[in-house]
Amino acid sequence: MTNISNAFKNKKAFIGFVVACDPNFEKSIDYVKTLADAGTDVIEIGVPFSDPIADGPVIQEAGLRAFKNGVSTKRVFEMVAKIREKTTVPLVLLVYLNNIFKYGYDKFFSACQQLNINGVIIPDLPVEERSEVAVFAKKADCSLIPLVAPTSGNRIKKIVAGTDGFVYAVSSLGVTGARDRITTDLDTMVSNIKRFTDAPIAVGFGIHSPEQAVEIAKTADGVIVGSAIVKIIAQEGTHAEEKLIDYVSNMKKALKQPETNRI
């Protein structure tokens, strides 16, 4: 059992996302701790990229704020080092491939191993190109979290082969950002994925409300919330603790409802 799959043990996982150095270096460290203490089971930390083609406006703007605060890959590792002094919550980096490539695959994943970063999500790395990264990730005991899209169809089998963390099921086409309505048939999508892997499946992209979480958790093993959390931080700046705790508590409560946990 990896640190990540442990987070799914006997419960539906709540996975939260923050952008590194938003609203600033120190505060984003505090917020990871806040989210963890409020019960977030896995925390994704976004490494800002100049051209985030998978991200919608909310996360793009957070990236711009982070750049103003001098974010860099090195700085993100410094941030995680501080986080690791405070919490053992499973951590996953969301990072575009060019940042890893320029840092050096070997050096990047060695840093992940040293800091106990448990997984990496690379939005622009499809299974076709995974092998050049996979050797380094494996050596560092760092899970490469595969993404499955509503359009993946017969690609699912090769995408999820060998998954040791969790599978990220992308709920909607397009970019990240809260959506009122998710039109994808998630039940079918999740059961299609389950045919090919025993790894837990978490659904993300556009999820923001407890109602959505209840619905999704009927079939999936967890929900991932990005833009909704980033939006709270955008609105509350350096005083977001209370709202973050409220938000996570509500989502956790929704995921604990008995109907959600029916197997």
* Interface of this chain with another protein, residues 168 to 207, rule: CB under 8 A: 170, 173-175
Question: Catalytic annotation on 55?
Answer: yes
Q: Which is nearer to another protein, 38 or 59 (CB)?
A: 59
Distance from C-alpha of 18 to C-alpha of 248, rounded to nearest angstrom: 13
Distance CA 167, CA 157 (A): 12
Measured over all CA atoms, what is the biggest interatomic distance in the chain, rounded to whole angstroms? 46
Q: Which of 22, 37, 51, 55 is catalytic?
A: 55
Binding residues among 50-79 for another protein as defined by CB under 8 A:
50-51, 53-54, 60, 67, 72-74
- Active-site residue flag, 37: no
Q: How far is the CB of 50 from another protein (least distance, A)?
A: 4
Taking the complex as a whole, how short is the minimal distance between the CB of residue 80 and another protein, in angstroms? 16
Binding part of the chain for another protein, among 25-33, 78-86, 121-129, 220-228 by CB under 8 A, reads: 121-129
Phi, psi dihedrals of residue 156, rounded to the nearest 5°: -55, -45
What whole-number distance in Å separates Cα of residue 76 and Cα of residue 250? 29
**202 closest CA partner among 175, 173, 227, 170:** 170
24 neighbors 16 (Cβ within 8 angstroms): no
Show contacts with another protein in window 122-151 (CB under 8 A). Answer: 123-129, 146-151
Which pair of structure tokens corresponds to residue 159?
């995408």
Q: Which stretch binds another protein (CB under 8 A): 9-17, 118-126, 196-204, 221-229?
A: 118-126
Report in angstroms how near the CB of residue 255 gets to another protein at its nearest: 25
Task: Count the Cβ atoms, other than its own, within 10 Å of residue 86.
Answer: 13
Which distant-in-sequence residues (6+ apart) come within 8 Å of 124 by Cβ? Answer: 53, 54, 96, 97
Q: Does 228 bind another protein (CB under 8 A)?
A: no
Give the count of beta carbons closer than 10 Å to the beta carbon of residue 209.
Answer: 15
**Given 22, 44, 164, 221, which residue is catalytic?**
44
Q: Which of 26, 101, 191, 235 binds another protein (CB under 8 A)?
A: 101
In the complex, the residues that contact another protein under the rule CB under 8 A are 49-51, 53-54, 60, 67, 72-74, 96-103, 123-129, 146-153, 155, 159, 170, 173-175
